[in-house]
Amino acid sequence: MKRLHGVIRSYAWGSHTVLAELTGRPSPSDRPEAELWLGAHPADPAHVDDAVSGVSLLDVISADPLGQLGAANAERFRGRLPFLLKVLAADEPLSLQAHPNAVQAREGFERENASGVPLDSPARNYKDDNHKPELVVALTKFEALAGFRDVRRTVALLRALGVAELNRCAEQLEAQTNSSGIRALFTQWITGDRHPATLIGGVVEGCRRYLSTMSDGADGEFAAEAQTALELGSRYPNDPGVLISLLLNRITLEPGEGLFLAAGNLHAYLRGAAVEIMANSDNVLRGGLTPKHVDVPELLNVLDFRPAPMPVLGADGVDPDLRRLYRTPEAEFELTRLKLDTSRDDGSSSAATLAAGDPRIVLCTAGSTVLSSQCDSLELSAGQSAWLPASNPAVTLAPAQQRAQVFVARSAPSDVDSPRRQGDCAHMHSTNLDN
């Protein structure tokens, strides 16, 4: 096992405090820090400690894919680490965006390569040939827009705001209540039909009026949606993303709750800190709420317009206070949160054993933990992480002091009947639930 050093990315929507405090650096930071990357993506690979200096995790894996990934994973994922782990820190809303599926990513990457678009060009959509489903797990209260809302609920919201043009849009949706109706209205708004700048102003005023009625005791059924549109309108007064926000599920995650976003899911994270895991990709198609490159035609090509609620992933396991496994349908990643404690209510202490054979990234987000194997040991404090290659012996995680919160990232099992479906699990003392 080796200590892993991630790469911090600075974007305007990032926080001056969250990542600085998590990693024990001076706070506030000089620049807004948005993401801590922990993985082997070519754009920003993490580094591992060796006897002399840090070496790129990408280079470590490329030099020994069988030893680092294991034979099965090396074959299954073409010699690449299949997942990318991040810590996300958002003080302001991210762009309205979606990510491609595997076929779209491969074709888009080849197309932009053939067109001569440089990989580092701001106009580049496809930075690699991989799809990008993702899972976000809240560290703090985390707010987001994600997926298209049930049409009946959207119609009720549009009517509740008391804007004449929105009433006409509601009628349009009522006449076509499936994904085709959502696609038609979305396209109309995002491409600028029906004078969206004027409509945006009307929507902002409608949201302001709606929120003002709450002080008079009126029902605030859509208060969160109205407040979000109002805030987005103040930041991006002429951006059609303000309108699009009215079509999306408004979600609040409490710490420990998760949200899975499949390829094609339109979303915008609004604020909060979270651990995020995804397929190893940096492909983003943006549609608004950003000064960055926007490509509406390509976004329309990848979006999934099916309306549906976005289920929040909560407890999954025999002891959810100790361990949570966040299940998704994706092969590339699986995330487990472990809460390790030296003094549980029943008088026992908790530990987790990770079996050999799988590559993992272990991230400590609170307290400190000791990773121990028959060969060596490593202590991680909050904000620190470790790389465990497939060739590493079994590792036991225990709290270094009283408590620790740890996230363990790995690929999902290929066999649905495999004992690995139980995930990386915390256990009392030396018991091993990994197999």
Clarify whether residues 136 and 155 are in a common domain: no
* The pLDDT value given to residue 430: 35
| Residue ending a domain, choose from 244, 267, 301 | 244
Q: Which are the contacts of 33, defined by CB distance < 8 A and separation ≥ 6?
A: 8, 9, 10, 14, 15, 16, 18, 19, 20, 89
Clarify whether residues 222 and 259 are in a common domain: no
Is there a domain that residue 357 lies in?
Answer: yes
Is there a domain that residue 229 lies in?
Answer: yes
Q: Which two tokens stand for residue 271?
A: 């604020």
Is there a domain that residue 371 lies in?
Answer: yes
* The pLDDT value given to residue 342: 78
Q: Which are the contacts of 417, defined by CB distance < 8 A and separation ≥ 6?
A: none
Clarify whether residues 259 and 223 are in a common domain: no
- Chain CA centroid to CA 191, Å: 27
Q: Which domain holds residue 354?
A: 323-428
Is there a domain that residue 435 lies in?
Answer: no
Clarify whether residues 121 and 266 are in a common domain: yes
Clarify whether residues 141 and 221 are in a common domain: no
Q: What percent of the chain has pLDDT over 90?
A: 83
Does residue 25 have an active-site annotation?
no
Strand duo 377-381 + 360-372: pairing: antiparallel
CA angle at 381 for the pair 376 and 385, rounded to the nearest 5°: 65
Is there a domain that residue 135 lies in?
Answer: yes
* The pLDDT value given to residue 307: 96
Task: For the chain, give the mean pLDDT.
Answer: 91
Clarify whether residues 236 and 368 are in a common domain: no
Clarify whether residues 179 and 299 are in a common domain: no
Residues of the chain with pLDDT under 50: 416-421, 426-435
* The pLDDT value given to residue 419: 45
DSSP type of residue 237: T
Is there a domain that residue 346 lies in?
Answer: yes
134 is in an annotated binding site: yes
Is there a domain that residue 300 lies in?
Answer: yes
47 is in an annotated binding site: no
Clarify whether residues 128 and 262 are in a common domain: yes
401 is in an annotated binding site: no
Clarify whether residues 188 and 49 are in a common domain: no
* The pLDDT value given to residue 339: 93
Clarify whether residues 298 and 239 are in a common domain: no
* The pLDDT value given to residue 54: 79
| Residue ending a domain, choose from 289, 313, 337 | 313
CB 426 within 8 A of CB 339: yes
Closest CA to 183 of 151, 225, 206, 157: 151
* The pLDDT value given to residue 317: 55
Question: What CATH number is given to the structural domain containing 128?
Answer: 2.60.120.10
* Residue among 80, 286, 360, 420 flagged as catalytic: 286
* The pLDDT value given to residue 431: 33
Please state the φ and ψ torsions of residue 268, each to the nearest 5 degrees: -150, 115
pTM of the model: 0.93
Clarify whether residues 132 and 269 are in a common domain: yes
Domain tally, the chain: 3
Clarify whether residues 257 and 131 are in a common domain: yes
* The pLDDT value given to residue 350: 81
97 is in an annotated binding site: yes
* The pLDDT value given to residue 429: 43
| Residue ending a domain, choose from 244, 276, 296 | 244
Q: What percent of the chain has pLDDT over 70?
A: 89
The span from the CA of 337 to the CA of 321, in Å, is 10
Provide the strand spans (E) within 128-266.
Answer: 134-138, 142-148, 248-253, 258-261
The span from the CA of 229 to the CA of 244, in Å, is 9
Q: Which two tokens stand for residue 314?
A: 């909560």
* The pLDDT value given to residue 320: 62
